[in-house]
Amino acid sequence: MDKKLFGTLADGIETSLYSFTNQNGATMTVTDLGATLVGLLVPDRNGKLVDVILGYDTPQEYVDGSCYFGAVIAPSGNRIAKGRFTIGGKTYQLPINDNENNLHSGPHGADERVWEVAGTDAETNSISFHLAIPDGTNGFPGNFDITVTYTLTEDNAVTIHYEAISDQDTIANMTNHTYFNLAGHASGSIENQTLMLTADRYTPVIDFQAIPTGQMAPVAGTPMDFLTAKPIGLDINADFEQLKFVGGYDHNYVLPDCGGAVQKFAEAYREESGICMEVFTDCCCVQFYAGNGMTEQAGKNGATYYKRQGFCLESQFAPNAINEPAFLSPVLKAGEKYDTQTSYRFSVKE
């Protein structure tokens, strides 16, 4: 492990970078700010190391940015309609920060906090971050205690293990918001990169605010179908209402073994670099976001990022699941343990 100063935030708090390298030369770099994944170097078919995730050069840019690059989202990822929900007969109101809804737990969330390093293991290339979120933060009930562990394996996988406990019934729906580009973070659009998703159902949204209708619709016969690998951009501009609502793909897909054992649910590939990414999770759903809302901005290492220059695969409960009886519930009972993991494994196709 290599540790170095990342930078100092506007309020004077210092942040650090932690880097781990495996026997193949792959390198994972994370920061204690937001328990954020800031760099991921993996070999392409020629053995050249390519940084396949988007990010910034300074910690303040992560705080000021609106894309949540690489951040852990906690306690609740995605959207909650009107920022309102009821648990145990009590109604809670969250901040409204996305149209009329709450997005990613609200402003100044876990992604902007400096987490404690709870432990490192040089032999397994792993690091654990800890954060205690006090009761009532952004309106959520319960003292919410989180540990997130990143591990870089010898087969070029990054595994993210989420653990949490609360002293009150609350929502627990953590995820990671890394943007991937398998040609390199500064290489341009991801629309010609192929994607396969095992999900045969998705949750249609009501309108541009991206709140699900409560239904689970088949992908068959629609541009939402990724059961067979296809370029992300092939149908992204199709004359299809769901895509028009949100400017492309920004939808929740329901996985076949919903909330069961760890399963492979996605495979992405970039022919030019030969880099393939397989994704595994024990979560019930995944949000596929194609970066439609990204605006021109300065990225790391002098890069400039534009619309659809990265894509996200966010393992999760369905958006607004707390308010939809048909969706698997994201309620974590007081004293019970939240425990889930997602892995992104990289290889080369010849």
Percent of the chain beyond pLDDT 90? Answer: 97
259 has pLDDT over 70? no
pLDDT, residue 64, reads: 95
Span 81-86, average pLDDT: 98
Q: Do the bridges between strand 194-197 and strand 230-231 make them parallel or antiparallel, or are there none, so unpaired?
A: antiparallel
pLDDT at 147: 98
Q: What is the mean pLDDT of residues 12-33?
A: 97
> At residue 6, does pLDDT exceed 80?
yes
Three-state secondary structure of 167-220: CCCEECECEECCCECCCCCCCCCCCCCEEEECCCEEECECCCCCCECCCCEECC
Identity of residue 235: D
**pLDDT greater than 90 at residue 257:** no
DSSP state for residue 53 in the 8-state scheme: B
213-248 pLDDT, tens digit per residue, is 999 999 999 999 999 999 999 999 999 999 999 999
User: Residue 304: its pLDDT value, please?
Assistant: 97
pLDDT, mean of residues 142-160: 98
Residue 95: the pLDDT is 98
* pTM of the predicted structure, to 2 decimals: 0.97
DSSP-H helix ranges across the chain: 59-64, 241-246
* pLDDT exceeds 80 at position 260: no
Per-residue pLDDT at 261: 87
Q: What is the per-residue pLDDT for 350?
A: 76
At position 251, the amino acid (one-letter code) is H
**pLDDT over 70 (residue 105):** yes
Per residue in 151-173, is it b (16+ CB within 10 Å) or e — as a string?
A: bbbeebbbbbbbbbbbebbbbbb
| Separation between Cα atoms, residue 285 and residue 280, nearest integer Å | 11
Question: What pLDDT shows up at residue 171?
Answer: 98
Residue 341 pLDDT > 90: yes
Would you name the residues annotated as active-site residues? 177, 314
Mean pLDDT of the chain: 97
DSSP annotation string for 257-289: STTSS-EEEEEEE-TTT-EEEEEEESSSEEEEE
Sign of the alpha-carbon torsion through 4, 341, 278, 285: negative
